[in-house]
């Protein structure tokens, strides 16, 4: 397997002096292309911090972080923004859609913001993804009026819009009922299988974790299993 | 950045009531700006028309010759001719220059005149007066005599005289009566009162008399030439430049009305400065209003900004979205305020028909384009601070909110 992402000796501290908290304590991890991994661990173990760093939204205090052969620790904000847009998709626990936009506009956003406009090709891709998510009747529906499950499926579609190599999902089913959660996980598994997109899913739910081929357990700031 | 424009527009239309209030606030500021521009401009126009509207805008006056000096062969000054009381200097080539001056751009009337002093006698009553000889047909070229006539006609001919109402009352004169006018040169003429005017200016109404140019020639012993050429301009603010042009064209000493009108100019400048202050305050209000509204919007939309940043929107894109919102608010407010200002100024009389007792609003001096441009620029500047604040939003913190 080819390594998509590598982090080693990752340290992240917050605060200074007596208030200093070390959340990651030399964590090392490798994700291969096409993996579907669950990130497990108790609250405060450093899962969210790790996802945030892997998503290039935060830099580690020290350690190495590389993806697709690029050193992301040394990159500046502009380069990281571009990298994130092209290579990483996000699915958040609370979907985090843009409420004043329709479902299709939300999905198309990552491409439109890069191109400077909503191209017909991008809109076609957006419709295709929403159709795949079972939301073909909701293209022009205001995202604020969608149900929780529908919003999360729109969020998955948005994460896939630019065909990223890696999708980071932070408790993607944590706010959904069991049926909706399984529906979202089935979609993720299908995309992983069909398109080879790598997924790293942070979850507390053992059943959700069981749907992933690999489980990574984080405890006290390091990978424990 | 069409996409940033789309997002900015969507944000504005998403909160219609808030946007409408904001645009209305900006429009009120622009309305005040335009109203003040029209008022200050109109007031200046009104004051100028009342003070210098009836006077010559550029005047060419004959210069007295230097007194003759008798010098002895050894260089001693033996005698100096005393400057006479009577005006002797003339613009001998006036007839040549008048058509030339009339061709100067901006000149709307030229009035060659002979001016001097005299005594008006009616029975035992005597009044000291100024005498102005005007060319028939040009009586109202400078002072609108026709417009001020209360009795008779302003038309001047041989043996006729026109004078002010106060003077006529002082001498108990009625139309058609004869009176004697003795010039400072000592020449007398018996003239018939053909018209009485009232300008509202006490000095003119009490002491100015008008006769025909030929009568003035006889009175002042000037068989040819004139003593003064008065010129009226379409734009009295162009007097300085036009005077220079006439000077270059004729070689005569053309003097604009602004020479010797420093106090009036200072007063008008002070008034204009007041206007600038008031308009600046209106603009500052707009800037503060837009900045505070957009800052609130930035705070309210922090999570969305965080999401946008997380999924690939750069800081520049976020700044552009918020600056575009500011520009759109400025443009909409500017256009609305300008339209409201124009509509509010419509009922006021035009600048040519200002009436005493009403606000002298000049609809043509509303500075509409300037108001809209400055408002858009002000709104853009006002949005930079909120836009920068938005661009600095930390996606991790914002998404967690």
B56 within a domain of the structure (yes/no): no
Contacts of A158 in chain B (CB under 8 A): 311
So what's the pLDDT on residue B241? 93
Q: Return all residues near A165 (Cβ < 8 A) that are at least 6 apart.
A: A4, A33, A67, A68, A87, A88, A197, A198
Name the one residue in this structure whose structure tokens are 């819009």. Answer: A161
Q: Choose, out of A81, A83, A91, A111, the residue to mutate when testing the contact with B (most B CBs < 10 Å).
A: A81
Q: Does pLDDT of A174 surpass 90? A: no
Domain ranges (residues) in chain A: 3-223
Average pLDDT over residues B161-165: 93
Judge whether B141 lies within some domain.
Answer: yes
Chain B residues closer than 8 Å to A86 by CB: 312
* Interface contact B310-A57, CB threshold 8 A: yes
**Contact B10/A90, CB-based, under 8 Å?**
no
Per-residue confidence band for B64, with pLDDT thresholds at 50, 70 and 90: low
The Cα B313–Cα A162 span in angstroms is: 13
Interface of chain B against chain A, CB under 8 Å?
1-4, 6, 10-11, 14, 303-304, 306-315, 317, 395-396, 399
Question: Is the domain of B209 the same as that of B115?
Answer: yes
Number of neighbours of residue B380 by Cβ within 10 angstroms = 20
Q: Count of residues for chain B?
A: 401
For residue B107, the cross-strand partners are B233
Beta carbons of A58 and B396 less than 8 Å apart? yes
CA-nearest residue to A53 within chain B is B396
- Are the beta carbons of B108 and B250 closer than 8 angstroms? no
Q: Please judge whether B2 and A116 are an interchain contact, meaning their C-beta atoms are less than 8 angstroms apart.
A: yes
User: Which residue of chain A has the CA closest to B14?
Assistant: A100
Of B213, B236, B257, which closes a domain? B257
Q: Which chain B residues are closer than 8 Å to A55 by Cβ?
A: 310
Range of lowest pLDDT (A23-27, A137-141, A194-198, B272-276): B272-276
* Nearest by CB: B3 against A96, A97, A116: A116
> Which residues from A are below 8 Å from B317, CB to CB?
113
Residues B183 and B322 in one domain: no
User: Inter-chain contact B396–A52, Cβ cutoff 8 Å?
Assistant: yes
The predicted pLDDT at position B356 comes to 66
**CB-based burial, B129-161: b 16+ in 10 Å, e otherwise:** bebbbbbeebbbbbbebeebbeebebbbeeebb
Contact yes or no for A96 and B399 at CB 8 A: yes
Closest CB from B2, B303, B311 relative to A158: B311
Best of A57, A115, A118, A167 to disrupt the B interface (most B CBs within 10 Å) is: A57
For residue B86, the model assigns a pLDDT of: 45
Is residue B184 a part of any domain in this protein? yes
| Least confident residue range of A113-122, B83-92, B98-107, B257-266 | B83-92
Closest CA to B301 of B106, B12, B33, B94: B12
Check pLDDT > 80 for residue B83: no
Looking at domain A3-223, does it have CATH number 3.40.50.300?
Answer: yes
Is pLDDT at B78 greater than 80 in this prediction? no
Average pLDDT, chain B: 86
- Give chain B's domain count: 2
Q: Which range (A22-31, A177-186, B145-154, B235-244) has the least confidence? A: A177-186
CB contact under 8 A, B3 and A77: no
3-state class of B255 per DSSP?
A: strand
Asked if residue A53 has pLDDT above 70, the reply is yes
Query: What tokens does B70 get?
Result: 């008798």
* Residue B32 to residues A3, B24, B139, B268, B286, Cα–Cα distance (Å): 66, 12, 43, 20, 11
Residues of chain A positioned with their CB less than 8 A from the CB of B315:
77-78, 81
Verify that B244 and B191 share a domain, yes or no: yes
The yes-or-no verdict on residue B81 having pLDDT over 70 is no
Chain B nearest CA to A10, separation (Å): 18
- B102 within some domain: yes
Distance CA B291, CA B275 (A): 24
Q: What is the mean pLDDT of residues B356-360?
A: 74
- Whether B311 and A99 lie within 8 Å, measured CB to CB: no
Is pLDDT above 80 for B53?
no
Confidence bin at B231 (pLDDT 50/70/90): very high
Q: SS3 string of A75-127? A: CCHHHHHHHHHHHEEEECCCCCCCCCCEHHHHHHHHHHHHHCCCCHHHHHHHH
Is A84's CB within 8 Å of B14's CB?
A: no
Nearest CA in chain B to A83: B312
CB neighbours (10 Å) of residue B337? 29
Residue B159 falls in which region: left (phi positive, over 0), alpha (psi -120 to 50) or beta:
left
pLDDT category, B400, cuts 50, 70, 90?
Answer: low
Structural domain containing residue B27: 2-51+264-399
- Interface residues of chain A, partner chain B, Cβ below 8 Å: 52, 55, 57-58, 77-78, 81-82, 84-86, 89-90, 92, 96-101, 109-110, 112-118, 158, 162
pLDDT of residue B146: 87
Out of B208, B237, B257, a domain closes at B257
Give B332 to chain A, closest Cα distance, Å.
Answer: 21
Average pLDDT over residues A129-141: 90
CA distance A39 to A86: 23
Q: Where are the alpha helices (DSSP H) in B232-310?
A: 239-250, 262-300, 302-310
Average pLDDT, integer, range B367-388: 90
Query: Token pair for residue A134?
Result: 């079972």
Q: Are both B252 and B285 inside the same structural domain?
A: no
- Is residue B57 one of the residues assigned to a domain? no
For A159, other C-beta atoms within 10 Å of its C-beta total: 27
pLDDT value at residue B87: 46
Quick check: is B305 in a domain? yes
pLDDT at A225: 75
Mean pLDDT of the B143-148 span: 86
B215, B233, B257 - which closes a domain:
B257
Size of interface A-B (CB pairs under 8 A): 63
**Does the pLDDT of residue B401 top 60, yes or no?**
no
Q: Are B306 and B397 in contact (CB under 8 A)?
A: yes
Least CB–CB distance from A117: residue in B3, B309, B315: B3
3-state helix, strand, coil in chain A (%, to 5): 40, 25, 35
Structural Rg of chain B based on CA atoms? 33
CA distance B25 to chain A (A): 24
Give this prediction's pTM: 0.72
Give the SS3 label for residue B168.
Answer: helix
- Residue B314 C-alpha, separation from nearest chain A C-alpha, in angstroms: 6
b/e for A123-157, b at 16 or more Cβ within 10 A? bebbbebbebbebeebbebbbeebeebbbbbbbbb
Q: Does B3 contact A52 at a Cβ distance shorter than 8 Å?
A: no
Lowest mean pLDDT, pick from B69-78, B170-179, B297-306: B69-78
Which comes out higher in pLDDT, residue B351 or A55? A55
More confidently predicted of B289 and A167: A167
Verify whether the Cβ–Cβ distance A118 to B309 is below 8 Å: no
| Sequential DSSP letters for A45-79 | SSHHHHHHHHTTSS--SEEEEEETTEESSS--HHH
Helix, strand, or coil here: A12? strand
Interface test with A, best of B3, B19, B311 (most A CBs within 10 A): B311
């Amino acid at each position: 397997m080819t390594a998509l992402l590598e982090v080693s000796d990752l340290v992240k501290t917050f605060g200074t002096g007596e208030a200093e908290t070390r959340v990651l304590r030399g964590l090392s991890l490798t994700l291969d292309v096409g993996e579907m991994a669950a990130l497990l661990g108790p609250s405060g173990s450093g899962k969210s911090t790790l996802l945030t760093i892997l998503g290039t939204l935060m830099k580690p205090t020290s350690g190495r972080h590389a993806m697709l052969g690029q050193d992301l620790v040394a990159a500046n904000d502009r380069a990281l923004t571009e990298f994130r847009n092209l290579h990483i998709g996000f699915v958040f626990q609370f979907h985090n859609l843009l409420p004043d936009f329709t479902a299709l506009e939300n999905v198309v956003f990552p491409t439109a913001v890069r191109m400077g406009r909503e191209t017909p090709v991008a809109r076609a891709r957006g419709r295709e993804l929403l159709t795949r998510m079972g939301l073909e009747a909701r293209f022009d529906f205001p995202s604020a009026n969608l149900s929780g499950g529908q919003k999360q499926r729109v969020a998955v579609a948005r994460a896939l819009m630019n065909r990223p190599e890696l999708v980071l999902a932070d408790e993607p089913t944590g706010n959904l009922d069991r049926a909706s959660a399984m529906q979202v996980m089935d979609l993720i598994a299908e995309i992983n299988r069909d398109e080879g997109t790598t997924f790293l899913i942070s979850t507390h739910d053992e059943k959700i974790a069981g749907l992933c081929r690999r489980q990574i357990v984080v405890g006290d700031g390091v990978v424990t299993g | 950045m069409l996409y940033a424009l789309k997002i900015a527009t969507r944000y504005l239309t998403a909160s219609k009531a808030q946007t409408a209030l904001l645009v209305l606030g900006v429009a009120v500021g622009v309305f005040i700006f335009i109203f003040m521009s029209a008022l200050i401009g109109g007031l200046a126009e009104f004051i100028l028309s009342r003070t210098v509207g009836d006077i010559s805008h550029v005047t060419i006056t004959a210069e007295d010759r230097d007194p003759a000096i008798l010098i002895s062969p050894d260089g001693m000054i033996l005698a100096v001719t005393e400057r006479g009381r009577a005006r002797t200097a003339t613009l001998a080539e006036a007839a040549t220059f008048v058509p030339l001056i009339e061709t100067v751009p901006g000149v709307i009337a030229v009035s060659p005149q002979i001016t001097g002093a005299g005594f008006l006698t009616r029975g035992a009553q005597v009044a000291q007066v100024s005498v102005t000889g005007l060319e028939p047909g040009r009586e109202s070229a400078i002072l609108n005599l026709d417009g001020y006539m209360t009795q008779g006609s302003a038309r001047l001919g041989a043996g006729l005289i026109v004078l002010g109402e106060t003077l006529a009352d002082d001498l108990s004169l009625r139309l058609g009566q004869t009176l004697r006018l003795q010039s400072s040169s000592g020449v007398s003429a018996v003239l018939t009162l053909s018209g009485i005017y009232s300008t509202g200016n006490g000095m003119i109404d009490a002491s100015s008399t008008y006769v025909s140019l030929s009568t003035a020639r006889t009175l002042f012993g000037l068989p040819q030439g004139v003593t003064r050429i008065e010129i009226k301009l379409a734009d009295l603010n162009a007097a300085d430049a036009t005077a220079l042009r006439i000077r270059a064209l004729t070689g005569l000493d053309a003097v604009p009305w602004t020479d010797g009108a420093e106090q009036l100019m200072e007063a008008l400048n002070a008034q204009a400065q007041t206007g600038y202050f008031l308009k600046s305050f209106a603009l500052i209000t707009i800037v503060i209003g837009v900045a505070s509204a957009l800052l609130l919007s930035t705070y309210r939309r922090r999570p969305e900004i965080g999401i946008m940043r997380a999924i690939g929107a750069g800081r520049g894109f976020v700044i552009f979205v918020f600056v575009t919102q500011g520009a759109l608010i400025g443009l909409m407010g500017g256009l609305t305020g300008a339209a409201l200002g124009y509509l509010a100024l419509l009922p006021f009389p035009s600048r040519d028909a200002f009436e005493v007792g009403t606000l002298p609003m000049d609809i043509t001096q509303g500075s509409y384009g300037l108001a809209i441009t400055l408002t858009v620029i002000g709104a853009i500047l006002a949005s930079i601070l909120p836009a920068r604040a938005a661009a600095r939003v930390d996606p991790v913190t914002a998404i967690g909110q």
